[in-house]
């Protein structure tokens, strides 16, 4: 009986190491941080309304300012942030302007359309910083029902190889 205890402890330690190695390998294989708009956004993403569906597309409307704070993101490597968005306005209505900001600094401006558009911004590596705050600022909100909305979005953060 006492001979099996060290063997069980060794097996448990080996299993824990294998699990940790698999987690590291999975993160390295697919390091993307993707927000699927088919479920509620996490608590660290603010300014997003509940998810909706249009045929096969899922999306979430934003308020005039939506923000994703990723406090544990490794900034020692560059990232690419992608936002798929549309204005979804009447054909004769003015489309909103979408400003993307990283850590409070505006990095790009796009005009929305009724079809989904893709905005991508590069986030350079920073040796002295951890985390990332990604902000969408949108002009020309409107009220289709009981809530004021801006644009419908899908958000993706990808590691740049």
Over the stretch 130-158, which tens digit does the pLDDT of each residue have? 888 999 998 877 766 655 566 666 665 55
What total of structural domains would you count in the chain? 2
Residues 26 and 36 in one domain: no
DSSP H helix total and E strand total for the chain: 1, 9
Residues 133 and 74 in one domain: yes
What are the C-alpha distances in Å from 156 to residues 13, 22, 68, 114, 144? 36, 23, 11, 20, 26
Residues 3 and 52 in one domain: no
% of the chain residues with pLDDT over 90? 12
pTM for the full model?
Answer: 0.70
Structure tokens at 34: 């993707």
- DSSP letter assigned to residue 8: H
Over the stretch 40-76, which tens digit does the pLDDT of each residue have? 777 888 988 888 887 887 888 888 899 999 888 888 8
Domain of 26? Answer: 1-30
Residues 110 and 70 in one domain: yes
What is the maximum alpha-carbon separation in the chain?
A: 81
Residues 90 and 77 in one domain: yes
Residues 63 and 123 in one domain: yes
For the chain, the distance separating the N- and C-terminal CA atoms, rounded to the nearest angstrom, is: 51
Residues 12 and 47 in one domain: no
């Amino acid at each position: 009986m006492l001979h099996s205890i060290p063997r069980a402890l060794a097996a448990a330690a080996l299993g824990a190491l294998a699990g940790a190695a698999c987690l590291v390998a999975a993160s390295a294989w697919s390091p993307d941080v993707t927000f699927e708009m088919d479920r509620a956004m996490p608590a660290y993403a603010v300014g997003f309304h509940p998810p909706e569906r249009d045929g096969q597309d899922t999306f979430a409307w934003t308020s005039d300012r939506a923000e994703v704070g990723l406090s544990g993101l490794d900034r020692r490597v560059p990232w690419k942030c992608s936002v798929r968005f549309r204005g979804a306005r009447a054909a004769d209505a003015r489309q909103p302007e979408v400003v993307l900001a990283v850590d409070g600094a505006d990095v790009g401006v796009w005009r929305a359309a009724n079809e989904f558009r893709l905005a991508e911004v590069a986030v350079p590596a920073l040796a002295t910083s951890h985390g990332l705050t990604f902000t969408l600022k949108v002009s020309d909100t409107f009220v289709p029902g009981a809530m004021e909305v801006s644009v419908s979005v899908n958000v993706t953060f990808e590691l740049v190889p």
